[in-house]
């Protein structure tokens, strides 16, 4: 899912000179990319051919498959290539251990909105990285896709994964609940989904200003009005506590992935 989202986002930029060579052990997954975006992507049937001249090798695999993927590609890694991992939870020490020696390794946690070039990515660079060269390399990829946040402490990556990576799904879950409530109160289900979607998109657009969310919310909320009534119901249902549980659960799962893949 994330690999295709990144590819779709990169394909939207027709001006960039960057070119990407893609490899997957299941080549049928790459047929869509190969057919639609040949100007930005080359699909390789060979892992060696895909990375032997690469400046950056982006690892878009499941956490449980990361060390195996590195064991398969490390013999072909160019000496100057940066390894960029998008696997949740897996720390740089684990990646360097799989390579077998110190290596320039960076981590990126993008979210699904990179598909439309409106996403974000948290970044962290390992001690073997050369700054600013490797920062510029990563920015050449993810800078096209949205806002970048460079972290100074790798342990912050667990929280960034919960907020940036998993966050869009939490917002969408809330949107689903709003639509279901609208339908239960008598709206046509399609209209309820449309209304909830438009409300979400509108709120996101308002956040593009310099105002803080609480300031925007206060302007929307009239004393003794419908919005205040709904917000009070959310507070009484302990919404902040529920959100806190979701963020902490995602953060804890990221930490578990780190331990499971040492």
CATH classification of the domain holding 225: 1.10.3730.10
DSSP label of 154: T
Domains in the chain, number: 2
Decide if 159 is inside a domain: no
Report how far residue 213's alpha carbon sits from residue 69's, in angstroms, rounded to the nearest whole number. Answer: 42
CA nearest to 182, candidates 166, 198, 171 = 198
Same domain, 125 and 56: yes
Report how far residue 64's alpha carbon sits from residue 257's, in angstroms, rounded to the nearest whole number. Answer: 8
Same domain, 175 and 149: no
Same domain, 150 and 182: no
Instruction: For residue 19, give its domain range.
Output: 2-154
Rounded to two decimals, the pTM is 0.90
Same domain, 97 and 118: yes
Same domain, 10 and 129: yes
Residue 194 — pLDDT band, cuts 50, 70, 90? very high
Over residues 119-148, the pLDDT tens digits come to: 999 999 999 998 889 999 998 888 889 999
Over residues 202-222, the pLDDT tens digits come to: 999 999 988 999 999 999 999
- pLDDT for residue 15: 65
CA nearest to 79, candidates 142, 130, 18, 138 = 130
Instruction: Decide which of 124, 154, 184 is a domain's last residue.
Output: 154
What stretch of H or E contains 3? helix 2-11
Per DSSP (E only), the strands in 135-232 are 146-150
Report how far residue 86's alpha carbon sits from residue 142's, in angstroms, rounded to the nearest whole number. Answer: 11
- pLDDT for residue 192: 98
Instruction: Decide which of 130, 154, 178 is a domain's last residue.
Output: 154
Residue 238 — pLDDT band, cuts 50, 70, 90? very high
Contact 74, 101 (CB under 8 A): no
- pLDDT for residue 80: 86
Residue 198 — pLDDT band, cuts 50, 70, 90? very high
Tokens at 243, concatenated: 């959100």
Instruction: Decide which of 97, 121, 154 is a domain's last residue.
Output: 154
Residue 22, beta-bridge partner list: 43
Peptide bond connecting 132 to the previous residue in cis, omega within 30 degrees of 0: yes
């Amino acid at each position: 899912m994330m690999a295709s989202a990144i590819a779709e986002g990169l394909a939207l930029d027709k001006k960039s000179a960057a070119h990407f060579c893609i490899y997957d052990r299941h080549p049928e997954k790459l047929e869509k990319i190969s057919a639609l975006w040949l100007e930005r992507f080359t699909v390789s049937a060979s892992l060696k051919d895909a990375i032997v001249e690469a400046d950056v090798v982006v690892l878009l695999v499941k956490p449980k498959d990361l060390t195996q993927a590195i064991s398969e590609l490390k013999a072909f890694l160019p000496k100057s290539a940066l390894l960029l991992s998008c696997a949740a939870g897996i720390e740089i020490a684990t990646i360097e251990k799989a390579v077998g020696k110190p290596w320039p390794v960076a981590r990126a946690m993008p979210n699904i909105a990179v598909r439309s070039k409106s996403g974000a990515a948290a970044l962290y660079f390992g001690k073997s990285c050369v700054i600013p060269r490797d920062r510029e390399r990563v920015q050449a990829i993810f800078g096209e896709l949205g806002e970048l946040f460079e972290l100074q402490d790798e342990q912050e990556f667990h929280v960034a994964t919960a907020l940036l990576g998993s966050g869009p799904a939490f917002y969408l879950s809330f949107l689903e609940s709003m639509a279901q409530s609208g339908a239960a109160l008598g709206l046509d289900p399609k209209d309820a989904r449309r209304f909830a979607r438009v409300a979400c998109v509108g709120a996101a657009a308002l956040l593009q200003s310099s105002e803080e969310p609480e300031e925007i919310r206060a302007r929307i909320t009239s004393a003794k009005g419908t919005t205040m009534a709904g917000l009070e119901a959310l507070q009484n249902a302990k919404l902040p506590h529920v959100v806190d549980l979701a963020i902490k659960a995602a953060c804890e799962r990221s930490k578990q992935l780190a331990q499971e893949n040492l």
